């Protein structure tokens, strides 16, 4: 069984109040011939940690990157040093920036080169170098210095704002569901909080399973960042034939509480599946479907994702 994808959703740490952070992923550092691949992997992890410690970046770890890229069947080399390759990787991962680099040798010195790449423009935002006439065991210090250069020498400054009174949200109750008035719906019976809109309501189209992972990860609906893809059993708590809502699929009826937005998709992705398939639930008939990986969107394939989290956490 594939590990629960809601663990993947927790890979990005919530930015501190008043501080702006950029979501990034780091490509494995390309080593010189004098550095073993295993050592380069350790140094790449040190780089990820150093970038996070600057306070300016939220960083995806290696394991979560591998899971997302495997889902998207990304076939390029692990080092992926061409800009076109890095940009494609960034799009699959759903991050606005990527960090790539290499560790070269100039005489007796190691030279660490890092570049910050903007995925939307495919251009380098910044390129930095750090030299070290040192043994491999001391390269961790140079990696940390290069990370500080990439982030910029000036520390993040909290934004100063005058506190404003928080407007009172209007909540509405429908049986055991509460519309919180902020784009979320709480089920008091299960203790789960859902997004009022599914991804179809937001994007106007189907999402593949790998796209649904990226979609959920970037959500901040209701001011929360710990949204995840629901399990098949959690989705079933929403299905009830006594409810009828119009879906986007040829105007057909789906069966979930009308407290949720209408004109969404008729099927929703779950986090349950295996290495070759993933499950979805139809809100037209309540049936569970197994979909072969990689999933694809077609004219007759109306699937979306409705994010969930545990209310009160």
Provide the pLDDT for residue 33. 80
Q: What SS3 state is found at 92?
A: helix
- Is the overall model pTM greater than 0.75, yes or no? no
Q: Quick check: 76 pLDDT over 80?
A: no
Task: Quote the pLDDT of residue 168.
Answer: 54
Tell me the C-alpha distance between 275 and 180, whole Å.
Answer: 37
What tokens appear for 39 in the block? 């050592």
Kindly report, residue by residue over 80-137, the tens digit of the pLDDT: 778 888 888 888 888 899 999 999 888 888 999 999 999 999 899 999 999 999 888 8
pLDDT tens digits, 156-210: 333 344 445 555 566 788 899 999 999 999 999 999 999 999 999 998 889 999 8
11 has pLDDT over 60: no
| Residue 128: both structure tokens together | 């930095």
Taking the C-alpha atoms of residue 123 and residue 125, their distance in angstroms, rounded to an integer, is 6
């Amino acid at each position: 069984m594939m590990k629960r994808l809601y663990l993947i959703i927790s890979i990005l740490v919530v930015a501190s109040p008043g501080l702006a952070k950029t979501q990034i992923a780091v490509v494995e550092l390309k080593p010189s011939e004098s550095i073993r691949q295993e050592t380069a992997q350790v140094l790449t992890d040190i780089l990820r940690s150093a970038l996070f410690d600057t306070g300016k970046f939220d960083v995806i770890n290696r394991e979560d990157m591998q899971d997302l890229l495997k889902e998207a069947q990304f076939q390029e080399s692990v080092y992926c040093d061409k800009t076109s390759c890095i940009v494609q990787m960034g799009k699959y991962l759903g991050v606005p920036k990527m960090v790539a680099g290499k560790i070269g040798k100039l005489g007796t010195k190691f030279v660490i080169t890092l570049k910050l790449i903007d995925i939307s423009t495919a251009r380098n935002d910044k390129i930095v170098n750090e030299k070290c006439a040192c043994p491999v065991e001391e390269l961790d210090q140079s990696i940390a210095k290069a990370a500080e250069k990439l982030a910029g020498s000036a520390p993040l400054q909290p934004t100063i704002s005058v506190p404003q009174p928080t407007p009172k949200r209007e909540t509405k109750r429908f049986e055991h569901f509460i519309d919180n008035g902020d784009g979320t719906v709480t089920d008091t019976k299960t203790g789960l909080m859902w997004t009022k809109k599914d991804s179809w309501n937001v994007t106007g189209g189907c999402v593949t399973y790998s796209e649904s992972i990226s979609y959920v990860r970037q959500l901040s609906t209701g001011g929360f960042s710990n949204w995840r893809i629901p399990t098949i059993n959690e989705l079933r708590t929403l299905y009830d034939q006594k409810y009828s809502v119009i879906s986007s699929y040829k105007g057909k009826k789906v069966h979930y509480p009308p407290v949720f937005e209408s004109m969404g998709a008729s099927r929703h992705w779950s986090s349950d599946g295996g290495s070759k398939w993933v499950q979805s639930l139809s809100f037209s008939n309540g049936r569970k479907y197994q979909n072969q990986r990689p999933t694809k969107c077609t004219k007759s394939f109306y699937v979306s994702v409705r994010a969930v989290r545990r209310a009160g956490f």
